[in-house]
Amino acid sequence: MPANFHTIDHPLIKHKLVYIRDKGTSSKIFRELVREISAILAYEATKNLPTKSVKITTPLTKTTGHKIDMEKIVIVPVLRAGLGMTEGVLSLLPGAKVGHIGMERDHDTFLPTDYYFKIPSRPKDKSFLVLDPMLATGGTVIDTIHRLKDSGALDIRFLCLIASPEGVKALNEAHPDVIIFTGVVDEKLNSKKYIVPGLGDAGDRLFGTE
Ligand code: URA
């Protein structure tokens, strides 16, 4: 696995993945689990964010603390399944901005285009956390990150719940500078490009559209 790739090997993630994979889990519980796992991923993915010292007065004395510049963090859920991760990440980073990106392939040219793109101004000064629960072939995330870089973004991390070995390789080859955080790497992709064992279609399970 590449150097800038991290599997978050934590009992809480392992435990929650049992329920999230289970086909009998309702959309309500599925959404809660996606939110909870995303918060744990965000905790790990923000470990090396810069902080600046600030003076504080406690009821007892003056001291110094360390603050993250929340205004400089942009959470970017990839439409549509990435939306399910947003609340979990925001629970740890309530002051972060939220951008949205929807990518699709042009039917004629097969070139990736964005059907929705809205991110805050001055992207080069910001740290981006791109969210998509499933890193399958990597195609959509690779296109999304190209689009972000075209707009000026420099510091980009990618967070997913489940990755395929093929997706990790493809994303790392396309964007070796992007740090990847996942809950687990599964066995493989099947012929329909679903992750196996996986959890099925994350968007359908989040939004009840099966
Ligand atoms: N997207 C999903 O939602 N699930 C997969 O297994 C692959 C891509």
pLDDT in tens, 34-86: 999 999 999 999 999 999 999 999 999 999 999 999 999 999 999 999 999 99
- Give a yes or no: residue 196 inside a domain: yes
Residue 97 lies in a domain: yes
149 is a domain residue: yes
Q: Report the residue among 132, 196, 199 best suited for mutation to probe ligand 1: largest number of ligand atoms under 8 A from its CB.
A: 199
Task: State the pLDDT at residue 125.
Answer: 96
Which structural domain, as residue segments, surrounds residue 32? Answer: 5-48+72-207
Q: Is residue 59 a part of any domain in this protein? A: no
Distance between Cα 121 and ligand 1 center (Å): 31
The answer to whether residue 87 is domain-embedded is yes
- Give pTM, 2 decimals: 0.95
Residues of the chain above pLDDT 90, percent: 93
Mutate to test the pocket of ligand 1, among 21, 182, 193, 210 (most ligand atoms within 8 A of CB): 193
Distance in Å, CA 20 to ligand 1 centroid: 13
Does the residue 54 lie in any domain? no
Q: Which atom of ligand 1 is nearest to the CA of 81?
A: 3
Instruction: Tell whether 67 is covered by a domain.
Output: no
Annotation marks residue 63 as catalytic: no
Q: What are phi and psi of 149, to 5 degrees?
A: -65, -40
- At residue 199, the pLDDT reads 98
In a domain, 64, yes or no: no
**pLDDT score for 210:** 78
- Which CATH number covers residue 26? 3.40.50.2020
Whether 21 and 34 have beta carbons less than 8 Å apart is answered as no
Provide the pLDDT for residue 121: 96
Residue 205 CA, closest ligand 1 atom number: 3
* Listed range (27-31, 106-110, 146-150) with the worst mean pLDDT: 106-110
Let me know: does 112 contact 146? Beta carbons within 8 Å.
yes
From CA 103, how far away is CA 117, in angstroms rounded? Answer: 8
How many A from CA of 147 to the centre of ligand 1?
Answer: 21
Q: For residue 208, which of 79, 26, 47, 33 has the smallest C-alpha distance?
A: 26
The total domain count for the chain is 1
For residue 167, the number of C-alpha atoms closer than 13 Å in the C-beta half-sphere is 33
